[in-house]
């Protein structure tokens, strides 16, 4: 069995944002040489997320509005976590809702997606460098 590890690094200039990372994950699958296996993609920071959905701008706007209703950034004084001097308690909650990671099957050397599926990086406390881990195992 083969094992392959790769990191993607991001610095989203805004506090929040979504990035389609499907292409670099597909490249990692090609680089791995794995034809049949599994691809794990996970955010290595507790205020960021990796998820699968459609690459449709209206949906991304809906996520932004929905997440802000669930865990509004302001007022920051509403969160006990922010008493530590942080202002990102909402980002931790948004990450919990959107998820830490995705697992995608690899079949015939390609990510085995359903219709319209793409992999996204979700940033909820940006303006600093963060990474995503890609771990591929298989034959």
Distance CA 120, CA 114 (A): 15
pLDDT tens-place string over residues 10-40: 999 999 999 999 999 999 999 999 999 999 9
- pTM score of the predicted model: 0.96
Distance CA 113, CA 104 (A): 7
Mean pLDDT across the chain: 97
In order of 57, 63, 82, 96, 121, the CA distances from 90 in angstroms are 22, 14, 9, 10, 17
pLDDT tens-place string over residues 99-132: 999 999 999 999 999 999 999 999 999 999 999 9
pLDDT at 27: 98
Please report the domains of the chain, with CATH numbers, ordered by start residue: 2-138 (2.60.120.460)
pLDDT tens-place string over residues 52-73: 999 999 999 999 999 999 999 9
Rounded to an integer, what is the distance from CA 31 to the centroid of its chain? 21
Distance CA 89, CA 7 (A): 26
Locate tokens 């809906």: which residue?
Answer: 62
């Amino acid at each position: 069995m083969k094992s392959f590890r790769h990191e993607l690094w991001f610095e989203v200039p805004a506090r929040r944002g979504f990035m389609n990372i499907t292409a670099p994950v597909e490249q990692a699958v090609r680089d791995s040489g794995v034809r049949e296996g599994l691809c794990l993609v996970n955010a290595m920071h507790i205020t960021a997320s990796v998820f699968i959905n459609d690459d449709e701008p209206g949906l991304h706007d809906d996520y932004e509005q929905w997440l802000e209703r669930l865990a509004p950034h302001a007022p920051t004084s509403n969160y006990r976590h922010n008493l530590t001097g942080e202002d990102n308690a909402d980002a931790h909650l948004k990450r919990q809702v959107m998820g830490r990671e995705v697992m995608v099957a690899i079949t015939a050397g390609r990510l085995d997606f359903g219709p319209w599926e793409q992999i996204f990086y979700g940033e909820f406390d940006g303006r600093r460098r963060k990474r995503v881990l890609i771990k591929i195992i298989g034959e």
